Amino acid sequence: MIGRFMQRILKNLEKSGMFRAGFFITLFVFLFVLAGAMYTPWSPTTMDEGARLAGFSARHLLGTDHLGRDILSRLLTGAGTTLFIATGTVLIGALCGSTIGAACGYFGGVLDEIVMRIIDALFAFPSILLALVFVSLFGSGRYHVIAALGIAFVPSFARTVRGEFLTEKNRDYVTKARLQGISDLRIMFLHILPNTGDVMLSSVLIGFNNAVLAEAGLSFLGIGVQPPDASLGRMLSESQQYLFRAPMTALLPGILLVLMILGFSLMGEGVRSHE
């Protein structure tokens, strides 16, 4: 499954200029996050009392925020936090949603009717609103945000996978597998699921895009990542009072957030245009 996933990525890199552009933007962001995991000039929570809202300097390459914390260090760790939350969100949403969608699409019947009515009811609410409900019930912090957003993303993955399984389960290769006595689980996850690769790849990439936006929104509202931890949404929230005195405190995390979203969006649209 993973091998076919990588083959589809390589195929889209070769055929789609849009996917290629998004891939290199996303690669830059990943390298930036990787650099932050290996080294930061300062601790992201260390306050330099004598350099609050300082500009670019040799001591603080990208300046400091209102508490004297190094912006470059907070960008490096904050981007990693945002990407970590997005990854956890997509993993939960994709794994749970794909399992539910596969079972409903393959078996159909009463199971499909009951589960999909629940999924449709959840899908009627925007993911961010569902996440707000879950966070308010279970608390804030990065792991609560991952769980809340992951659950909120399940309906979209479930509907996508169900639609693909409804189409694929009647194809000749599935009928042949059944006649050979292969179990339903093997048919579902070793035969049908790999043949939904392009749709799943597109869904995962768009899921990353939406998860980054959702994390930024929750942290901006103050119910996501909590101080003193950094995330791009948290940095934007903390900088809004200082837009005119120190615009770079908002501009830099904003640019990095846009690059993240743009990279995933271009790759997702590139895959869709070649499905």
- Supply the DSSP string of 209-263, one letter for each residue: HHHHHHHHHHHHTTSSS-TTS--HHHHHHHHGGGTTT-THHHHHHHHHHHHHHHH
pTM: 0.90
Confidence bin at 5 (pLDDT 50/70/90):
low
Nearest residue to 105 via CA among 181, 180, 8, 196: 196
Per residue in 187-208, pLDDT (tens digit) is: 888 888 888 877 888 889 999 9
Both tokens of residue 255? 């640019």
Q: What is the pLDDT, as a whole number, of residue 271? A: 81
- pLDDT for residue 211: 93
pLDDT at 34: 95
What's the mean per-residue pLDDT of the chain?
Answer: 88
Provide the pLDDT confidence category of residue 250 given band limits of 50, 70 and 90.
very high
- pLDDT band at 4, cuts 50/70/90? low
Of the candidates 31, 54, 90, 47, the residue with the CA atom closest to the CA atom of residue 230: 47
Model confidence at 264, in pLDDT bands (50, 70, 90)? very high
Predicted pLDDT of residue 274: 59
212-226: pLDDT as tens digits: 998 998 888 888 888
**pLDDT tens for residues 166-182?**
888 888 888 898 888 88
Q: What are the structural domain ranges in the chain?
A: 17-37+70-272
Mean pLDDT of the region 126-136: 76
Q: What is the mean pLDDT of residues 247-260?
A: 94
Q: From residue 152, give the alpha-carbon distance in Å to each of 157, 165, 183, 188, 275.
A: 10, 22, 31, 24, 26
pLDDT of residue 140: 75
DSSP sequence for 17-39 = HHHHHHHHHHHHHHHHHHHHHH-
Give CATH for domain 17-37+70-272.
1.10.3720.10
| Predicted local confidence at residue 38, as pLDDT | 92
What is the identity of the amino acid at 141? G
Question: Is the per-residue pLDDT at 7 higher than 80?
Answer: no
For residue 13, how many other CB atoms are within 10 A of its CB? 15
